[in-house]
Chain A
Amino acid sequence: MSAANDKAHAFVAGLAASEGLAPLAEAGRQAMADLPVPTRKSERWKYSPLTPMLATPVRTATAPEGWPEDVPTNPIPGLDAYRIVLLSGQVVAEACDLPVADGVVCMPLSQAMAEGRIGEGDEDWSAYHTREWVGAVNAAHAQDGLFLSLDAGVVLDRPVLVHHHTIGDNVASCPRHRVHVGANAQAEVVLWSSAPEGASGMVNAVLEGKVGAGARLGVDKVQHEQGAVFHLAHEHVTQGKDSTFRIHTVTVQGHWVRNELNVLQHGSGSHTIMHGAYLPKGQEHVDNHTTMDHTVPHCTSSELYKGILYDRSTGVFNGKVFVREDAQLTNAYQQNANIVVDAGASINAKPELEIYADDVKCSHGCTVGQFDEEALFYLKSRGIADRAARALMVQAFIGDVLEGFGQEEVAQEVEGLLADRHGWM
């Protein structure tokens, strides 16, 4: 066994096996043994090596005794939402507020499993655990999460907030969510992760989604974790005919973040929106790996990721777009723009388009630059101080990402947090 594998073995030794999701956990354990632990040698992990995370072993937290009093269950002022809250990977039932309505099943994933709502062979929609070691780690140790299923035609009246909060030292959290939006149904989900100063460990989160024919799923995903949390997130969403899936991913703060977003269009006429923003400071690291897979004709996708990198922070953007042979008349757009503010910061940006159909419209762009000095001077020449002028330009730069959130309250809270963090007005 290699040194990397030894480290990885020691790292996960303190994780409790998943109880609620037995068949998946067994497959996960098997896959962990078979899959290589990612190293810098693998292209997909070259710029986000796991070495710093694996250096300190983590353990599963003991069952929570309740939600901490000093942490709001709903961190978004004014947001009227259903709520499922998790503390270090485990659902705190008494602090949840879940919808009860005809055609809606919304409950902790463990309960859905116990009630037989997840059938044999149906445990894993993404096959993530068979592809990535970190996916296998989640499958083997998945604790709990959101199970949301909407019958055909049901429009959920309020968004569902999934608030994951990490507390403690070297804690391992493996939340796992499943969202099924039936034909012509509609749902909005807010994924919010938080951690206080002093928290440390790993969050390894997986969300699997299926968006039925003519259905619509929107996700506002916000990462606002202080402390030293290594955050691995994977969303895997498949779309049916004429469906829409939208996700906005904003990393407000995170010690080390790897977002992996896979969207698969299985039905023609479907539309996907993937927007994201990252503004790391200090020595933070934020990685966004996205895959947009067009497999059928007449689909569109619009991807826009923007990054502003301060201090000695590092960023990664890797955007794969597949247009398969059958996916004629695809219209795919991808844009990644970065501003590297300080000389010590860096971004590794890589668009990857693989197009096998011949009648398609695909455009992509990737830019890495500094502040426009002429524009800065213009603002300053009107009396606006250097710092405020830079803040205005940053806000303008990421404004078009923040505009598209599903919930206005989430966008406002994110802007407020960013303003506090970066000294905006």
Chain B
Amino acid sequence: MLTIKNLHAQVEDTPILKGLNLEIGSGEVHAIMGPNGSGKSTLASVLAGREDYEVTAGSVDFDGTDLLELDASDRAREGLFLAFQYPVEIPGVSNLNFMKAAINAKREHQGLEAITAKDFLALVKEKSALVELSGRLRDRSVNEGFSGGEKKRNEIFQMAMLEPKLAVLDETDSGLDIDALRIVSEGVNAMRDAGRSFLVITHYQRLLDHIVPDHVHVLSDGQIVKSGPKELALELEAKGYDWIKEGIA
């Protein structure tokens, strides 16, 4: 599904990713953990196509497509989804019009007709139930006046609406209370299937109690320095990141 080879990226001449390699198979859930400043969010931004980040070396193959050649909207239409760490408020753009435009952009890309109003509303009903997003929130402007938890639920709602092939969750657990964490995780788990992969970026192990990964990677100074099964997350929680750093020093 996703093959990252020797990825180097920088922001304003500061190198952040320094030769990152990662392979995610179809249907797999990978978690990336790591200390602050290790490059976790940079990886998410580079994958989604944020323009402030410059890729200086390496390649990213997404299901047979050279991802780095595409702009952000084309990446999304190819089936990539980024759940933002800080979802953006857009006053005046209704959540539903936004989703309709996004779905139709993808359908057009696939050579399909625009979705009918009836089908769209049915889809909204089904997917919003998944993350317990109330009608009141659905009908408002995008993220405007949403609490932190509501914003994250809205991200998962959008993911469910767009049914991506690969979803990158960038610290989706940050700012969530226990209930919101459970709702968001259940939403993600309901979306897990053989054709869909996840890259879960997180600081804390607690999210991985709910979204159980197939593989865990540790990112440090722009490289993946250790990979292992889901138990690696528990070990990190117990021993801290210094343990890894010492190991590679």
Take A386-B73, A392-B93, A393-B93 as given contacts and tell me if A378 and B87 are in contact as well, using a CB distance cutoff of 8 Å: yes
Chain A: CB-nearest residue to B92: A396
Output the residue of A382, A384, A396 with the most chain B CB within 10 A: A382
User: What is the CB-to-nearest-CB distance from B160 to chain A, in angstroms, rounded to a whole number?
Assistant: 13
Q: Are B49 and A384 interface neighbours, CB within 8 A?
A: no
A386 — which chain B residues lie within 8 A by C-beta? 71, 73
Q: Are A382 and B98 interface neighbours, CB within 8 A?
A: yes
Chain A, 67-115, CB within 8 A of any chain B CB: none
Please give the number of chain A residues whose Cβ is less than 8 angstroms from any Cβ of chain B in the complex: 23
Chain B, 64-94, CB within 8 A of any chain A CB: 71-73, 75-77, 81-82, 84, 87-93
Output the residue of A377, A393, A400 with the most chain B CB within 10 A: A377
Q: Are B90 and A375 interface neighbours, CB within 8 A?
A: yes
Which of A372, A381, A389, A397 touches B49 (beta carbons < 8 Å)? A381
Q: Are B92 and A399 interface neighbours, CB within 8 A?
A: yes
Q: Are B88 and A378 interface neighbours, CB within 8 A?
A: yes
Q: Does A379 contact B (CB under 8 A)?
A: yes
Q: Are A379 and B71 interface neighbours, CB within 8 A?
A: no
Q: Does B188 contact A (CB under 8 A)?
A: no
Question: 1/0 per position for A354-387, CB-CB distance to B under 8 A?
Answer: 0000000000000000001011011111111110
Q: Does A395 contact B (CB under 8 A)?
A: yes
Q: Are B90 and A384 interface neighbours, CB within 8 A?
A: no
Which of A375, A377, A379, A383 touches B162 (beta carbons < 8 Å)? A383
User: What is the CB-to-nearest-CB distance from B119 to chain A, in angstroms, rounded to a whole number?
Assistant: 18
Q: Does A425 contact B (CB under 8 A)?
A: yes
A396 — which chain B residues lie within 8 A by C-beta? 90-93, 141
Chain A, 177-192, CB within 8 A of any chain B CB: none
Q: Does A388 contact B (CB under 8 A)?
A: yes
Take A392-B98, A392-B101 as given contacts and tell me if A381 and B90 are in contact as well, using a CB distance cutoff of 8 Å: no
Please give the number of chain B residues whose Cβ is less than 8 angstroms from any Cβ of chain A in the complex: 32
B77 — which chain A residues lie within 8 A by C-beta? 383
A385 to B105, CA, bound (A): 8
Q: Are A388 and B101 interface neighbours, CB within 8 A?
A: yes
Q: Are B88 and A389 interface neighbours, CB within 8 A?
A: no
B82 — which chain A residues lie within 8 A by C-beta? 381
Q: Are B92 and A395 interface neighbours, CB within 8 A?
A: yes
A377 — which chain B residues lie within 8 A by C-beta? 50-51, 72, 88
Take A386-B71, A393-B93 as given contacts and tell me if A425 and B101 are in contact as well, using a CB distance cutoff of 8 Å: yes
B73 — which chain A residues lie within 8 A by C-beta? 380-386, 389
Q: Does B207 contact A (CB under 8 A)?
A: no
A380 — which chain B residues lie within 8 A by C-beta? 49, 71-73, 76
Q: Does B96 contact A (CB under 8 A)?
A: no
Q: Are A382 and B50 interface neighbours, CB within 8 A?
A: no
A374 to B86, CA, bound (A): 10
Q: Are B88 and A384 interface neighbours, CB within 8 A?
A: no
Q: Are A382 and B88 interface neighbours, CB within 8 A?
A: no
Q: Are B97 and A381 interface neighbours, CB within 8 A?
A: no
User: What is the CB-to-nearest-CB distance from A109 to chain B, in angstroms, rounded to a whole number?
Assistant: 40
A382 — which chain B residues lie within 8 A by C-beta? 73, 76, 81, 98-99, 102, 105, 158, 162
Question: 1/0 per position for B39-64, CB-CB distance to A under 8 A?
Answer: 00000000011110000000000000
Take A377-B50, A392-B97 as given contacts and tell me if A383 and B90 are in contact as well, using a CB distance cutoff of 8 Å: no
Q: Does B106 contact A (CB under 8 A)?
A: yes
User: What is the CB-to-nearest-CB distance from B110 to chain A, in angstroms, rounded to a whole number?
Assistant: 11
B142 — which chain A residues lie within 8 A by C-beta? 378
Q: Does B125 contact A (CB under 8 A)?
A: no
Q: Does B109 contact A (CB under 8 A)?
A: yes
A395 to B77, CA, bound (A): 23
A400 to B93, CA, bound (A): 11
Chain A: CB-nearest residue to B82: A381
| Residues of chain A whose beta carbon lies under 8 Å from any beta carbon of chain B | 372, 374-375, 377-386, 388-389, 392-393, 395-397, 399-400, 425
Listed by A's residue number, 8 A-B pairs whose Cβ atoms lie within 8 Å are A377-B88, A378-B84, A382-B162, A383-B105, A384-B98, A385-B73, A393-B90, A396-B93
User: Which 5 A-B residue pairings sit nearest by Cβ, starting from the closest?
Assistant: A396-B92, A383-B76, A382-B102, A378-B88, A380-B72
Besides A374-B88, A380-B49, A389-B73, 19 other A-B contacts (C-beta < 8 A): A375-B90, A377-B50, A377-B88, A378-B84, A378-B90, A379-B90, A379-B93, A381-B73, A381-B75, A381-B76, A382-B102, A383-B162, A384-B98, A384-B105, A385-B105, A388-B101, A388-B105, A392-B97, A400-B92
